[in-house]
Amino acid sequence: MSYQALYRVWRPQRFDEIVGQTVITQTLKNAIVTQQTSHAYLFCGPRGTGKTSAAKIFAKAINCPNQKDGEPCNECEICKSITSGQLNDVIEIDAASNNGVEEIRDIRDKAKYAPTQATYKIYIIDEVHMLSTGAFNALLKTLEEPPANVIFILATTEPHKIPATIISRTQRFDFKRITAQESFDRMVYILKQKQVDFEEPALKVIANAAEGGMRDALSILDQTISFGDNEVTLDNALLVTGSVTESLLADYVKQVVAHETTAGLAALQKVLDDGKDAGRFVEDVISYVRDLLLYKEAPDMVTGSDTTGDVFQQLSKNTAPDVFYQMINALNEVAAQLRFTTHPDVYLEVLTVKLAQIYPTQGNIGAVGSSATAVNNAEVEELQTQIQQLKQTVSQLKTSGVQTSPIAGEQSARRQAPTISTSEHSTTNSASTQTTSTVAAPTNQPASTTGTPAG
C-alpha cells in the first residue's frame, strides 16, 4: 500500500474529531438533531482549520440513517461513499477552477432534481470567493429560491470578497485558527496511535510553524517523520521548519534588549550561516517576544517558548512591556518588507541595529521602572503630608501659641537651650508670651521662666 499523507489518514470523520472548533461543531450537531438546518451555510476561516472536513461530516450526518447525537456512523453505505467522494448527491466543487457563470448555471439546473440515494443533496463550494461576478449572480438566484432538500455549503478563506447579498442568505460560521496547544495535543494523539517516538519540544516547534493550520502541522510532521526515519526529534523539526533553536533565539533577543548591537549582529550571523529562512527567523523572534510579554501578564497563555530558562525569566522580568511592543512593531514591519526583497540579510542587519536601540518611552516605564516610580510617589506623598502638617502647626502657633505641658515644656526648653543664642531665645520667648492666650498662659509660664535661666 502506498504511503498516505497524515492529514488524509487523520482527516476528521466525526464532528468530535475536529480540533479547536467546538462551538461550531456543537451548533451543527444540534441543528441536525433538531432538524433545523439551513439551506445555505458559509464556512469562513484560515486554511487548514477544518472547513471542508466539517462540510463533509455535515453531509454524512444529515444523510446517515444511523445518525446519533448529530454524528454520522461512518459505517453505512451512505457514509462510506461520501467519505470516498463517490456519492452523486454530495457534490464538491472547487470554485478556483470552476468560477464561471456556466458552471453555476449547471449547478442550478441539476439542483432541481431530487437526490437519488441520499435524503439531502449537498453542494460544497470551496474557495467560493473565486467566483466571477456573473457566477455570484447565478448563485444568488439559486439561494433566493432554494430547491427542496438541497443544502449549499460555501467555504472560503476570504469572506470579505463575497457579496453581502450572498452572505445575508447563508448561516455564517467563522472557523478559528487552531492554537499551538490544540495542534500539539492532536499531534501527540496521532503519534501515540502510530507508535512513533517523539520529543515534545519538536512538536512545539511544528505547532508554531504551522501558524494555526492543522493541515499544515500534519504536513510538517509528515516531513519530519520521513526525515528522521520514523522518529520525531527536535533537531529534525528545526531543520524541516527552518526554525532556529530557542537558545539561539534567546541569545539574540537578550543581546538586542541589552543594546549590545555587535553581539546581536553576531547572533544573527550564526542564524544566517546555518542557512535559516529570514522570514521564519523574524516570525520566531515575534513569537518569542510575544511569549516574553505574555509571561508578564498571563503566563498561562504562553504556548511556544520554554518559560523555565534563566534567560527567558530574566528577560520577561526585567524588560519594560513598552520595549516589547516597540520590538514587535519593528519586527512586523520587516516581516512585511521581506516578502518583496531578494536581500533579506540586509533587512535583518538593519533590524538588529534598530532593535538594539529601543528604549522604553517616557510615561511607559515597565516592571522595574514602575516599582521605582511607585516608591518615588510614596516618598512624594509622605513629604506632601509632612509639609501639610507643618503648615497646620505653624498656623496653630500663630493663632493659639505653643500648648505644652509644663514638664514637656521644661524638657524641650532645656534641650533647645544650648543651641539657641541668647538674643534669639529671648525673641522667641517674648513672641510666645505675647501670642499666648489667657488660658494657655499659666501652663506656659513655667516653661518660659525655667527656660530663661537655663540659657
Q: Which residue matches cell numbers 512593531?
A: 329
The angle at the Cα of 115, spanning 109 to 121, to the nearest 5 degrees, equals 80
Residue 6 vs 62, nearer CB to Zn ion: 62
Residue 18 vs 166, nearer CB to Zn ion: 18
H-helix or E-strand spanning residue 170: none
Q: Which residue matches cell numbers 454520522?
A: 72
| Nearest in space to 302 (alpha carbons), one of 204, 449, 158 | 204
Positions touching Zn ion (CB under 5 A) are 64, 66, 72-73, 76, 79
> Smallest gap, in angstroms, from Cβ of residue 67 to Zn ion?
7
Residue 72 vs 451, nearer CB to Zn ion: 72
| Nearest in space to 28 (alpha carbons), one of 53, 61, 64 | 61
Residue 81 vs 429, nearer CB to Zn ion: 81
One-letter identity of residue 189: Y
| Nearest in space to 38 (alpha carbons), one of 136, 122, 156 | 122
Residue 72 vs 228, nearer CB to Zn ion: 72
> Smallest gap, in angstroms, from Cβ of residue 80 to Zn ion?
8
> Smallest gap, in angstroms, from Cβ of residue 85 to Zn ion?
15
> Smallest gap, in angstroms, from Cβ of residue 54 to Zn ion?
17
Strand partners, 155: 43
b/e map 276-301, b = 16+ CB within 10 Å: bbbeebbbbbbbbbbbbbbbeeeeee
> Smallest gap, in angstroms, from Cβ of residue 65 to Zn ion?
6
Complete DSSP assignment for 55-95 = HHHHHHHHH-TT-BTTB--S-SHHHHHHHTT--TTEEEEET
> Smallest gap, in angstroms, from Cβ of residue 64 to Zn ion?
3
CA distances to 220, 265, 371, 432 from 360, in Å: 38, 21, 15, 55
Q: Which residue matches cell numbers 460555501?
A: 154
Residue 71 vs 126, nearer CB to Zn ion: 71
> Smallest gap, in angstroms, from Cβ of residue 58 to Zn ion?
13
Quote the CA–CA distance of 190 and 1 in Å, as a whole number.
20
> Smallest gap, in angstroms, from Cβ of residue 118 to Zn ion?
10
Quote the CA–CA distance of 224 and 230 in Å, as a whole number.
8
Residues contacting 298, CB < 8 A, separation 6+: none
Residue 82 vs 187, nearer CB to Zn ion: 82
Residue 66 vs 117, nearer CB to Zn ion: 66
> Smallest gap, in angstroms, from Cβ of residue 11 to Zn ion?
16
Sheet holding 171-174, edge to edge: 90-94, 121-126, 150-156, 40-44, 171-174
Residue 77 vs 379, nearer CB to Zn ion: 77
